[in-house]
Amino acid sequence: MKKRLVVLCGILLLLVFGCSRQRTFQKTESIMGTNVTITVVSEDPAAANAAIDAGMAEVHRLDEMMSLYKDTSEITQVNLAAGEHPVKVSPEMIEVVGAADRVSKLSGGVFDLTVGPLVVLWQMKLKENQIPTDAEIGRIRKLVDYRNIVADRKASTLFLKKKGMILDFGGMKGYIADRVAEVVKKRRITNALIALAGDIWALGKREDGTPWRIGVQHPREKDKVLTVLELSDKYVSTSGDYERFVIREKKRYHHIIDPRTGKPSKGVISVTLVGNKGAFIDPLAKAPFILGPEKGMAIVKQQGAEAIIVDENGVVTTTSGIVLEK
């Protein structure tokens, strides 16, 4: 009887002390000019923090490679060699260009990695409280064409055909989020939230076993949400004209440039897409933003993504899988 009691007590102790509770661990760092937050759910604090640190290290590594604002980055070296010679780059650079090329073709070129010269032009002029003239825009637009990127996968080189071209990976944060998700999962973490500004990977579930809840901000009412998305193993990307903008002569000039006109796009003020891969969903969000709800939604549906599109009149268009807040 005593022996049986000892065994039962041993089982009870195992049940009490052997079942660790899931906990949430989080860290935020300023990288790439924005806040990067990695949230991990795990029973093991050491494993959780190690996964977070590894994820942050991956963001730093890719930022050093792909930042337009670092003199030593690979993208800067490619831009400086534009029109002159190919540049040896890391495999990740080739992957980013390949992912972007797919979206450029799907969108008819409204998403374009070579939009950099126009972005720089607008930044410089707006800092001087000026608006670029049509003549200035016309000259710069000649440098913008994704078809003038030559990516040699075998040699691992990139070449820009025209001098003055500038690659800008600002619309490819989703690729970085994908890589961070891979790093976290390799450390046997299945529940995590990886947020790079308006781009979020929702892996698995929250501490309580429910899906992650992501609020979609109203583009004109800061304290209001359009809806709360419940996501597991999904990627969500939001682009809005409220993210980076200035007001000049009562007009709003935002950071999303339409390569066809060389000017900030008009007609749409916010786009949220939900899908399965950041490197695809992040750049694809620019298609409805620039093309408008009708043409943009047709592309989104064709690709099996979910979308929320808000036009300049406040009209909200969604795919069937989205339920708006009442």
Task: Tell me the pLDDT tens digit for each residue of 40-50.
Answer: 999 999 999 99
Q: Mind listing the pLDDT tens digit for each residue in 164-184?
A: 999 999 899 999 999 999 999
Residue 65 above 60 pLDDT? Answer: yes
Asked if the model's pLDDT at residue 16 lies above 50, the reply is no
SS (H, E, C) 52-85: HHHHHHHHHHHHHHHCCCCCCCHHHHHHHCCCCC
Residue 45 has a pLDDT of 95
Question: Chain-wide mean pLDDT for the chain?
Answer: 89
The pTM (predicted TM-score) of the whole model is 0.89
pLDDT at 151: 98
Mean pLDDT of 86-93: 98
Q: What is the pLDDT of residue 241?
A: 74
Whole-number Å distance between alpha carbons of 109 and 144: 10
Domains delineated in the chain:
22-68+171-188+195-204 (no CATH), 73-167 (1.10.3980.10), 211-326 (3.10.520.10)
Of 6-10, 90-94, 103-107, the one with minimum mean pLDDT is 6-10
* pLDDT at 140 exceeding the cut of 80: yes
